[in-house]
Structure 1
Amino acid sequence: MAPGGAGDTPEVALSGPSMTSRKSVTGGGKRDEELILPINSSLSVTLSQDQLKTTTTAAISTDFTEDRIWLNGREEDVGQPRLQACLREIRRLARKRRGAGDGDSPPLSLSYKVHVASVNNFPTAAGLASSAAGYACLAYALARVYRVEGDLSEVARRGSGSACRSLYGGFVEWQMGEQADGKDSIARQLAPEGHWPQLRVLVLVVSAERKPTGSTVGMQTSVETSALLKFRAESVVPARMREMARCIQDRDFQRFAQLTMKDSNQFHATCLDTFPPISYLNDTSRRIIQLVHAFNAYCGQTKVAYTFDAGPNAVVFTLEDTVAEFVAAVKHSFPPAANGDRFLKGLPVTPVPLSDELKAALAGDPTPGGVQYVIVTQVGPGPQVLDDPHAHLLGSDGLPKQAS
């Protein structure tokens, strides 16, 4: 990162936490939509950046005439309220630090405009937590550029509630807090990424299309109309949070898996209890649920678990020694349409034959092309600074390199 003197363009590219709203205990709605304060605590797992990541570059300069932002190569409206909330908060913190008289840093004019470029290597706005990864990466990048230190939970949360969890690796809790100003609504790491090395995560991409109902709009409607959501937040989630934390600490996969599936099911039940009802799952999503339960029944124990966020794509938790057999079951149930050589991405998987007994146990006829591809990954760290200039997304002129 370059010095922040006049005319300089300090920039930092970050390989952000890949996807972090793969909730073992799924979050609920918001009690304050402006401050993005939740009605209950929640828990998530940060995935490895080797397979899934958001990369963000931020730069400030006297040459820039306005704030600008590009997402996946396309310029977006910088006036979006949540984006503006992040910018205001990071600049407020920078003014506060400058006012404290930090003599260790060269002067940095807060009147400089900022350019931001961000790229996801996984489907955006498809229920795979792209906003959580993106806003966590944005908050971290802006903090480096404006030399803001300390907990960035509030900055990231103002963009996307789940983003505060994405600032940490491993297993992370977003504490709902009680204060009206949200100062105690922060994230904390329950266990680091290396805590459970055998745990694997499979992302079954059913559709890369944008979901018709955004998670923010959908959950706010649920808060307003779903009695089940209120009951869930007050009477179910607190106990599940404690139990899930225990399962993670003890690496108790069977209980972890069962809680994950039950909570996913209940989250989508609140969506149906919303008025008008919201349905994020499609026929393939429900077929995946059947497949998981059939696989577990055949094994005689819970060896895989699904969870769905606000979209049709499934995230499956399992242990390393089960990956190959379950992948074979997925390929049997959802034969690749035309991309057999690209059906599996991420961590390598050694092919294994599927037994005739397991084939018979898998319910329903195969659905060719139902799953577009599978990404095999694992638990990963929080944001990482990319020092290689070639990884930066903005050129010396402050514009995206591909558009320069």
Structure 2
Amino acid sequence: GKRDEELILPINSSLSVTLHQDQLKTTTTATISKDFTEDRIWLNGQEEDVGQPRLQACLREIRRLARKRRSTGDGDSLPLSLSYKVHIASENNFPTAAGLASSAAGYACLAYTLARVYGVEDDLSEVARRGSGSACRSLYGGFVEWQMGEQADGKDSVARQVAPESHWPQLRVLVLVVSAEKKQMGSTVGMQTSVETSSLLQFRAESVVPTRMREMISCIQARDFPGFAELTMKDSNQFHATCLDTFPPISYLNDVSRRIVQLVHRFNACHGQTKVAYTFDAGPNAVIFTLEDTVAEFVAAVRHSFPPETNGDKFLKGLQLTPVLLSDTLKAALAMEPSPGGVQYIIATQVGPGPQILDDPHTHLLGPDGLPKPAA
């Protein structure tokens, strides 16, 4: 939820894990030219409305910072005019607007790319935040806190890295794609309604989150997986409880989502310890945290409970795993009627770095004419 919709200022601090770009990434190319007659943007090959308020807010902020830098004298060497129009192309290699943080990745990548084009070297938290609040966290790798801040102008509502991507090398992340469809209720509209109608959300922001933030940072720094996992699940559950406490209620989870929750708890109960954790954003897709030595067994449990209907060899994407067989004990503990096709596929990944510059011209999405390259 936000306390200021225009500046995108949150009602509480938050923490996220940046995923590795080898498996999930947004790629963005931007170029400016005196020959362009207007700003234009393409997303996943389709031209979009460049007049979207949040996109315009990012552009205005970047251009303001570039003018400020030039006026101080530091930017005299900038070769490109600030009056030039910009063309932007962006692509996600994972489902867009399906509750998998595509807006966070997209706006973080956009802010970073525009900063390179316009010669801006300031902290980009505020720029990315204007597009999507959680995008400010995605400007950093590893484990990242978005500090809510207290100032009315939002200058102190910025992201900071809690631990780098190399801090916890054993941690693994599985994205269980239940639905790649665009969600019916967008995050922004949903959050606005929750702020206006949910008393649980106000209690959560004031009384629960501050303590959980301290506990979560402590668990990450200590690489305490059971503590990290329990907090992750409890917080996900409470987030979705606030959605149900919203009026009219919002339900991002579906029956498969709830079966995944059952699967995780039964898997942990069978082992007598917390080896796997789930979290759900504003959508039905599950993000699973576990450690390297548990990944293969849990993937086998998911395949057992949600057997693929077709293309079983493409069920697992991303990091390669050596398949394992489930023990009869675990099969009995899961005690779930198989739901074929419930999980479309799994993306296996790990903690990753912040934005990376792609030097290979072949990776650029715009051609020399500033228009999207034809699809290969």
Query: What's the TM-score, normalizing by structure 1?
Result: 0.92
Number of residue pairs aligned between Structure 1 and Structure 2: 376
- For residues 106 and 191 of structure 1, the distance between their equivalents in structure 2, rounded to whole angstroms, comes to 34
2:103 is aligned, of 123, 131, 134, to 131
- Report SS of the residue matched to 1:390: helix
What is the distance in 1 between the residues matched to 2:101 and 2:62? 22
Question: How far apart are the structure 2 equivalents of 1:403 and 1:255?
Answer: 46
Could you say which residue in structure 2 is the equivalent of 1:256? 228
Question: Quick check: 1:282 aligned with 2:270?
Answer: no
Offset of residue 195 of structure 1? 0.1
What's the C-alpha RMSD, in Å, of the aligned pairs? 0.9
Measured in 2, the distance between the counterparts of 1:402 and 1:325 equals: 41
- Rounded to whole Å, the distance in 2 between the matches of 1:383 and 1:251 is 24
Find the aligned partners of 1:400 and 1:256 in 2 and give their Cα distance: 42
Q: Identify which of 116, 126, 129 aligns with 2:88.
A: 116
Deviation at 1:117, TM superposition (A): 0.1
What is the CA deviation profile of residues 236-288 of structure 1, one whole-angstrom value per residue up to 9, with x for unaligned ones? 00000000000000000001000000000000000000000000000000000
Gaps of 5+ in 1: 1-28
1:90 correspondence with 2:62:
yes
Distance 1:213 1:34 in 2: 20
Find the residue that maps to 2:179 and give its secondary structure.
coil
CA contact (8 A) 2:26 2:91 kept: yes
* 1:149 aligned partner: 121
Does the Cα contact within 8 Å between 1:290 and 1:363 map onto a contact in 2? no
2-side partners of 1:388 and 1:310: how far apart? 35
1:376 matched residue in structure 2: 348
Structure 2, unpaired ranges of 5+: none
The alpha carbon displacement at 1:150 in A equals 1.9
State the shift of 1:104 in Å.
Answer: 5.7
CA distance in 2, matches of 1:91, 1:104: 15
CA offsets per residue over residues 221-244 of structure 1, 9 Å max, x none? 100000000000000000000000
Tell me whether 1:36 sits opposite 2:14 in the alignment. Answer: no
Distance 1:134 1:209 in 2: 18
SS in 1 for 2:172: strand
**Counterpart of 1:363 in structure 2: which amino acid?**
A
Aligned residue runs from structure 1 range 21-60, under 5 A: 29-60=1-32
CA distance in 2 between partners of 1:375 and 1:347 (Å): 8
Segments of 4+ in structure 1 off by > 4 A? none
Q: Distance in 1 between matches of 2:14 and 2:164?
A: 17
> Given residue 61 of structure 1, which amino acid in structure 2 is its aligned partner?
S
Q: Deviations over 1:82-112 (max 9, x none)?
A: 0000000000000101111125624421110
Per mean C-alpha deviation after superposition, the further-off stretch among 378-387 and 350-359 is: 350-359
Number of the residue aligned with 1:296? 268
Matched, 1:363 2:335: yes
Q: Is the 8 A contact 1:291 1:363 kept in 2?
A: no
How far apart, in 1, do the equivalents of 2:75 and 2:228 lie? 49
Q: Distance in 2 between matches of 1:363 and 1:308?
A: 23
1:3-402 alignment runs, 5 A limit: 29-102=1-74, 105-402=77-374
| Amino acid aligned to 1:229 | L
Which residue identity lines up with residue 56 of structure 1 in the other structure?
A: T
TM-score (norm 2): 0.99
